Structure formats: C-alpha cells, structure tokens
Amino acid sequence: NLSRNKLSSLSKKPFRHLGLSDLILVDNPFKCSCEIMWIKKFQETKFYTETQDLYCFDDNNKQTALMDMKVPNCDLPSANLSNYNITVVEGKSITLYCDTTGGPPPNVSWVLTNLVSNHESDTSKNPASLTIKNVSSMDSGLWISCVAENIVGEDQASAELTVFFAPNITFIESPTPDHHWCIPFTVKGNPKPTLQWFYEGAILNESEYICTKIHVINQSEYHGCLQLDNPTHLNNGAYTLLAKNEYGEDEKRVDAHFMSVPGDGDGPIVDPDVYEYETTPNDLGDTTNNSNQITSPDVSNKENEDSITVYVVVGIAALVCTGLVIMLIILKFGRHSKFGMKVHGEVKGVGLVDQIWLSLQDCDNEGPSSVISNDDDSASPLHHISNGSNTPSSSEGGPDAVIIGMTKIPVIENPQYFGITNSQLKPDT
C-alpha cells in the first residue's frame, strides 16, 4: 500500500521479481511520463472492478486519468532468438542471436546458469550475440535466455541447448545380489546409445532371465543394470558392455562370480559376498583331535535348558502320582477301619461313619429294638435261637449278626430274658 505518499514517479525495478498481485497507489501526484507506463500496463491486466482511480499531471499541470495517458516512444520491450532449437555436436562452437525492440531501446543481457563451456557475448549491437566455443557434453539440457528490459518493463526469450556426443560408460561394477543379481552401470550419450552385452567375447542373447534394465534417466545419462535371475556357476565369467550411437562408441568389461563350481573344493557351495567367514587355526583348533573341538555356546545353553525342562516335568509327574496314591490309601482304610466289638451295649469295631449313622437311627426309632429288628410283630428284641443255644460270635457271618450300613455288628442276647414266665410279667393286684 503506497497510497498518499506524494509519489511523482515509480520505477518497476523494485517489483519486477516480486510477482505482484495488487498494488495500491491512490492519491499520489504522479507525473505523466514513460516511467509510470508500467503502472498503466499493470492496471490493464486487472478486472474493471479491481482498478483504481489513478491520475497523473502533464507538462501543463493538467490532471489526466492514468488509463488515458499517452506517452510517445514508450513501449514494452520484446526479445526474440534467432534459433529456438539449439543443437550442436560436442567440441564444436555455436553462435546465437537475440533481436530486441522497445522504446526506449531496451538493455539486453544473457542468462547462462551453470554453463560450463567457454563463451563470449556482444550486447552493444542489435541483435545481440552469444558464441559458445568447444561445447561440452555437460552443458546438454541447459537453458539459455535473452532478457530485454527498459523502464516500461521487460521481456525474455529462452531455448534449450542440446549437445550430441558419443557414448561414455562412466560406471560399471561387479554384480551385487538384490531381488535379482545386478551388474550396475551408468552410460552417458546423446542421442540415446544402444547397449549390447557380451559374455566371454560372444554376444549375450538376452531373455526373461537375463536382460538389461534402465532404472533412472537424467538428461543424457542412463542408470541401469544387467539383471540375472538365479545365476549359477555356469554364468561366471567376463561381461563386456558396448554402448554405441552415431557419434561413437564405448565399452567396459567386468568379471562376475556368482557361485562356486559344484565339487570344486571341500567347502559348501554358497553365494559370494553373502556367506563369507574368515577362520584361523586358533578359531578351529586341531581338527584331528576331538578334544579340541569347539562347542558353540548357543548349542550348550540350548541343551542345558532342555535337560532342566525334562527334570521339572518328571518331578511334577512324580509328585502328582505320589499324591494320588496317598489319597487312595486314606479313602480305603479311613472309612473301613475297625476299633473293636460291641459287647454289652458298647460299640466297638464300628467305623466312624457307621457310628454316626447308628446314633441317628437310635434317636428316630426310640429304642434299640427298632434299630436292630425290622419286624413289627416281634415281641422279643434281638431274639435269635440257634440249635436251642445262644452262641455269640464276632467273627462269623451267621444269623447272630446284624448288618448296619457297611459294617456287620455281632449281637449277644440276654439268656435270662426268655426264662421269665407270664406270671412274673403280670403286676401284683
């Protein structure tokens, strides 16, 4: 915003590389001259709604709208090259001309960024000239520009320099393993050279398993590799790359070793550069003496861990088996243990569980007779006669035993009970 700054003129040079999108200049007493013609050109590029009401004063101090200002011999410059297709063979020279117009006459300059070749220019005459001597292939692809500039503005004309040169193999290396085996190379040349590989002096016929791949193209430089899919010892040997175009050729050779010949040597067949080990006598010891053999620490540790695991498993299994045996013994002998015989009303030889069950039955049936006998019509409790005599037995399973639960209890009867007569049972009247 440069409004109200009492500017009578304003040069474009401070703004030429800024890429202006808007510039506010209202209320400045500009003088009508060629120096502010660029402001008029800038306003003409805007939409009508975006334009400003700018004015200038002529030599008679008369105010005039800037859009109506007319100044003689005041025009934008223009630049034109004599050749927009600049091609040259490496080592040759070329001259380029730039014709300019504009009022006042513009100043001419050449923009030669990163140009390596020797050159000289003449801008004092119109058209201006530029001569490049002994053109280098390194300049191929560069842009050369002619710039014409005056107080109204500037113009620019540009062209690309194309240099033709013979191929040059700048890099080739022994094969390296990746997804595929690759013999890397870099070739420069313009036009693009044709590539031909030779194996042991004979033309290498490429296929889907052996072929040339170009991965990166940079101007006239090509980066690629000869790709080999699973090569064997049959592919070992000398490989030669020949690059050729209409301006010359170049070749480079490299020796490739992919795999050892089967049966050649005592060691295993391995890929080179992948499994390379250096050994010394101190590392291996005496191979004829078994006592000097070296056991890998990793293998020993693994064996120790396996042994400990086996011991732990066996110990746990033994502990579980012992516990099961003890439980079976307790269950078998703890339930059926005998403590004696029931003699004269004292219970002996009855298990703990059976004694508890017997006590509960005595409480429910109110008397010993219901516990021992299931016959409701029997008037004599525990009355058992065997051959007219009462024979107590604690070791035989005869009729004088009563089974309670899982325990057989021998019963001893009172012989005097049956000797009581009816008269003795009657009460006195």
CA dist., res. 377 & res. 360, Å (int): 23
Which superfamily does CATH assign the domain made up of 76-164 to?
A: Immunoglobulins (2.60.40.10)
> Which of 73-77, 144-148, 258-262, 405-409 shows the highest mean pLDDT?
144-148
For residue 176, which amino acid is it? T
Please provide the average confidence, as pLDDT, over all residues in the chain. 77
Q: Is the pLDDT of residue 425 over 60?
A: no
**Tokens read off for 206:** 């490429």
At residue 15 the predicted structure's pLDDT band, cuts being 50, 70 and 90, is: confident
Instruction: Give residues with Cβ within 8 angstroms of 35, minimum separation 6.
Output: 9, 10, 11, 151
Q: Is the pLDDT of residue 380 over 50?
A: no
* Helix, strand, coil share of the chain (percent; to 5): 25, 30, 45
User: In whole angstroms, how large is the CA radius of gyration of the chain?
Assistant: 60
CA dist., res. 125 & res. 244, Å (int): 43
Which residue would you say has higher pLDDT here, 269 or 183?
183
CA dist., res. 85 & res. 139, Å (int): 15
Q: What percent of the chain has pLDDT over 90?
A: 46
Contact 158, 110 (CB under 8 A): no
At residue 331 the predicted structure's pLDDT band, cuts being 50, 70 and 90, is: confident
Residue with tokens 């002096």: 201
Tell me what pLDDT residue 332 has.
Answer: 79
Quick check: pTM over 0.85?
Answer: no
Q: What are the start and end residues of each CATH 2.60.40.10 domain in the chain?
A: 76-164, 173-256
At residue 155 the predicted structure's pLDDT band, cuts being 50, 70 and 90, is: very high
Instruction: Give residues with Cβ within 8 angstroms of 153, minimum separation 6.
Output: 12, 16, 38, 41, 76, 77
Tell me what pLDDT residue 18 has.
Answer: 78
Tell me what pLDDT residue 336 has.
Answer: 52
Among 171-185, 248-262, 306-320, name the one with the lowest average pLDDT. Answer: 306-320
Taking residues 2-24, report their average pLDDT.
84
CA dist., res. 401 & res. 382, Å (int): 10
Which superfamily does CATH assign the domain made up of 173-256 to?
A: Immunoglobulins (2.60.40.10)
At residue 19 the predicted structure's pLDDT band, cuts being 50, 70 and 90, is: confident
Residues paired with 119 in a beta bridge: 132
Contact 36, 30 (CB under 8 A): yes
Tell me what pLDDT residue 414 has.
Answer: 58
Residue with tokens 């490299």: 254
Q: Is the pLDDT of residue 17 over 90?
A: no
At residue 173 the predicted structure's pLDDT band, cuts being 50, 70 and 90, is: very high
